[in-house]
Structure 1
Amino acid sequence: MTDKKIKFSIVLPAYNVEQYIIEALECLGGQDYPEYEVIVVDDCATDATGELAEQFAAESGGGKFSVIHRPQNRGVSEARNSGMDAATGEYILFLDPDDYYEPTLLSTLYAVLQEKQRDIVLFGYTEDYLDADGKMSYRVTKSLPGADFCGLCESLDEGGDNGAGKKDFADCIVRLERETMYGYPWNKAYRLDYLRDHGIRFPKITHIEDIMFNIAAFEEIASFALLPEVLYHYRNQGQVRLTGKYLADYLELQKTRIRAFLEQQCRWREEKIEELDQSVLEAMAGFYFRSLQSAIVRSISHGDGRREIFDWLEQEMEDPLYGLLKDHLTGGKAVKILYEPLARGRLVTAYLAARLIGVVQRFFPGVYARLKQNR
């Protein structure tokens, strides 16, 4: 154990978040651990985001807060990478400026890291669903019991410092993925030298940049800590988020991240994809068929005709990924009603379910949020 102070670098990629930026900076200014820097990356915002951040940095004093102004809007990946390049801390966090954070965020991380270095630390969060007026209509808490993996090694069965090998670690990652805790970057602290030494950066890709970054970040880590504490509050703003917009290649992007996850599990477990544990295939089957149903909803909303949708669905059923996962879909009533028709090839039923989902999403977002959690 050491009493050495650990410096944290906090990167906030900021684009048109004037409504939230001051609250985010005040959350960070109120941290009960003093050794940190905050780097706001103004991604050429068209509102007052950059000016408000500059004003806060000037008024706060002490040099903890700085602002990088990018001359062009290049997206969240490049903004985060710019912040990473400027960071001087031992650990780095990539937080979103339209969310908010517990004042004990950094002190909780320090309490773990001062005992032993970890390459990545993950913590719990809440997902706050907002209505059209910006008020919280529903909250989901995401947290798992604590776990610690130190000395992860090449061998599948050989344990590290705590007796846990890569298979145990792979099982833990599956649990995190099922709880939607693996892909986000904002519920994690990363050892900065580890990212730099391995050349890990946010990729230039739409919609799945977060999960692809984390798959790369977790690939070769030697140590990992999972904390049960809830330290982050994610505002899910529905249609304001990218998830509410039409993406022509939405399904292909989702399949890219599914394949990447499965391939990583194969490497860790030293198994072929068809030999993977049932829990892995069930987790990915759930994600795949939710994504497939979401693609139908998006197509309907975009104005695509029924025949056009059926044509690409019939093509999708020939995809090896569909064949791999169709017999591994599990879940409760929501799964049986909304997603099982797709796995069984009942396209008319799946299409009607998608139309129903679209109506519920649009007019009853709180009901839809609850429905998703009871899948």
Structure 2
Amino acid sequence: MSLEQRPKVSVIVPVYRVEPFIEKCADSLLRQTLDAIQFIFVDDCGGDASVDLLRGVVGRYPERNVLIVSMPQNSGVSAARARGIALATGDYLGFCDSDDWVEPTMYERLYDAAIGQKADIVACGYNEIIGRKVTKFQFDKASDDLATIMSFTRFGSEYGALWNKIIRREFFLTENLHLGDGLSMWEDSCTLIPMRLRSAKTVFLPDCLYNYYVNEGSVTTRFLMRKVTDSCEAVRRLEQFFVSNGYASESKELVEFLKLNATEVLMRFPSRENIVMWRETFPEAASAIWRYPSWNVVLKFRAWLVARLPLPLAMIVVKYVRK
């Protein structure tokens, strides 16, 4: 594309300590079949060679519209994305994680669907890669029915990530529904659920065009525990949005699910500190334990007992009720 041509899509990629992955990610983006596309890589000050490797790949595609900008200091994904959004000029916004990669036709397919169906949001299926295991996640046809949008069964796959979607930039900026600002967990869901409710048209493509790499080594108990606070804050922000916008009744089941989901790790690693935190964070959600689909029976029984027993007795119980 000509560098002066208005981009159809601007793709924003935060870059932070991804030396083993950034070349594959960048190459998959720069090989896209969509012609008028802008790429904005935001260096979040990881202190490694990621950006040097990135520049090497970008140098092989001189015809591409590429910006590489740096944050003043490490600021996290939300801030890095915000910097990229401020620089974007495309009709649609796309987001890619720098340890993932995309299929060659992804953005052309998403953009064509967006224009053809006048959609605010277009999503595609994705492949989840854990080691050698690849799991496909594909979507049903989009429904604008409120009950369907509020279904907790759609939370993880549909609302869990921005990276398999494009969103009309004017809609994104006008609605200003960035409830996830400052969060390091569920920030995408805090954006997508409100936007899904406000979107006049959302389209799902069944094809798996995005490849989501799960780095097992980074998922430690300590890492998960640091995320609990942000997950709970995300739930509070979403619940407030639902109440303020007249969705309190329709969102009740979804909010219960989110509260249990956000605190699930506390039950999986039930130290005294975690049990106290679980009992105090969302005590009202305990009534939904047996309806929560993600927990096995043993975990549900453990949580049910912990919610009802005095703390000393609860500590004794969890030693014998193993997952």
Q: TM-score, normalised by structure 2?
A: 0.82
Contact 2:267 2:275 in 1 (8 A): no
2-side partners of 1:231 and 1:19: how far apart?
21
TM-superposed CA distance for 1:217, in Å, is 3.0
How many residues get paired? 311
Deviation at 1:216, TM superposition (A): 4.0
Identity %: 22
| Equivalent residue in structure 2 for 1:192, among 145, 165, 169 | 169
For residues 56-77 of structure 1, give each alpha carbon's deviation from its aligned partner in whole angstroms, at most 9, with x where no partner exists. Answer: 2233101422211223111111
Q: Is the 8 A contact 1:120 1:191 kept in 2?
A: yes
Distance 1:320 1:296 in 2: 16
SS in 2 for 1:62: coil
Aligned to 2:196: 218
1:49 Cα deviation (Å)? 1.0
1:12-27 pair list within 5 angstroms: 12-27=13-28
Contact kept in structure 2, 1:57 and 1:66, CA below 8 Å: no
**AA at the equivalent of 2:291:** H
1:116–1:180: structure 2 CA closer, same or farther, 3 Å change rule?
closer
**Contact 1:207–1:242 at 8 Å: present in 2 too?**
no
Matches of 1:309 and 1:351, distance apart in 2: 12
| Equivalence for 1:42 | 43
1:320 partnered with 2:287: no
C-alpha distance in structure 1 between counterparts of 2:186 and 2:168, whole Å: 22
Whole-angstrom distance in 1 between the partners of 2:100 and 2:219: 12
Counterpart residue identity of residue 338, structure 1: L
Quote how far apart the aligned CAs of 1:215 are: 3.3
Q: Are 2:228 and 2:262, in contact at CA under 8 Å, matched by a contact in 1?
A: yes
| Contact preservation (8 Å) 1:44, 1:72 | yes
Counterpart in the other structure of 1:106: 107
Post-superposition CA distance 1:228-257 (Å, at most 9, x none) = 221111111134158861545x44433333
Matches within 5 A, 1:142-161: 142-147=137-142, 149=144
Task: Quote the residue 1:373 is aligned against.
Answer: none
Q: Residues 153-188 of structure 1, C-alpha deviation per residue, up to 9 Å, x if partnerless?
A: xxxxxxxxxxxxxxx144135266344321211121
Give, in whole Å, the separation in 1 of the partners of 2:240 and 2:139. 24
AA aligned to 1:108 is: R
Paired position in structure 1 for 2:235: 258
Q: Note the alpha carbon deviations across 1:47-96, whole angstroms, 9 max, x for none.
A: 11111222222331014222112231111111111111111110111110
Pair 1:330–1:96, CA change in 2 (3 A): closer
Distance 1:289 1:353 in 2: 22
> 1:126–1:232: 8 Å Cα contact kept in structure 2?
yes
Q: Distance in 2 between matches of 1:341 and 1:227?
A: 40
> Using a 3 Å threshold, how does the CA distance of structure 1 residues 208 and 350 change in structure 2: closer, same or farther?
farther
Residue 311 to residue 224, structure 1, CA distance change in 2 (3 Å): closer
**Alpha-carbon distance change, 349 to 30 in structure 1, aligned in 2, over 3 angstroms:** farther
Match of 1:73 in 2: 74
Q: Distance in 1 between matches of 2:320 and 2:242?
A: 32
1:233 aligns with 2:211: yes
What 5-or-longer segments of structure 1 have no aligned partner?
A: 131-135, 150-167, 301-305, 358-375
Does the Cα contact within 8 Å between 1:338 and 1:353 map onto a contact in 2? no
**What is the root-mean-square deviation in Å for CA atoms of aligned residues?**
3.1
Cα distance 1:241–1:311, how it changes in 2: closer, same or farther (>3 A)? closer
**Structure 2 stretches of 5 or more lacking a match?**
1-5, 309-313
Matches for 1:29-178 after TM superposition, within 5 Å:
29-130=30-131, 136=132, 138-147=133-142, 149=144, 168-174=145-151, 177-178=154-155
Name the CA shift for 1:214/1:55 in 2 (closer, same or farther; >3 Å): same
TM-score, normalising length: structure 1: 0.72
Deviation at 1:195, TM superposition (A): 1.5
Q: Does the 8 Å contact 2:7/2:38 carry over to 1?
A: no
CA distance in 2, matches of 1:199, 1:287: 22
Deviation of 1:263 (Å): 5.4
CA offsets, 1:11-64, max 9 Å, x none?
110001111111011111222222211111111121111112222223310142
Q: Give the 3 Å change call, closer, same or farther, for CA 271–175 of structure 1 in structure 2.
A: closer
Equivalent residues of 1:16, 1:45 under 8 A apart: yes
Judging changes above 3 Å, is the alpha-carbon distance between structure 1 residues 244 and 23 closer, same or farther for their aligned structure 2 residues?
A: farther
Secondary structure at 1:217 match in 2: helix
Residue of structure 2 equivalent to 1:183? 160
- Separation in 2, partners of 1:119, 1:264: 20
- Helix, strand or coil at the partner of 1:339: helix
Instruction: Give the superposition deviation at 1:124.
Output: 1.2
What SS does structure 2 have at the residue aligned with 1:114? helix
Q: Does residue 205 of the first structure (1) align with residue 186 of the second (2)?
A: no
**Conserved 8 A contact 1:339-1:350:** no
CA distance in 2, matches of 1:287, 1:176: 11
Equivalents in 1 of 2:70, 2:116: separation in Å? 37
Kindly provide the amino acid, as one letter, of the partner of residue 211 in structure 1. Answer: S
* SS, match of residue 20 in structure 2: coil
Q: Is contact 1:14-1:42 (8 Å) kept?
A: yes
Please report how far the alpha carbon of residue 219 of structure 1 lies from its aligned counterpart in structure 2 after TM superposition. Answer: 4.3
CA distance 1:77–1:56, change in 2 (3 Å): same
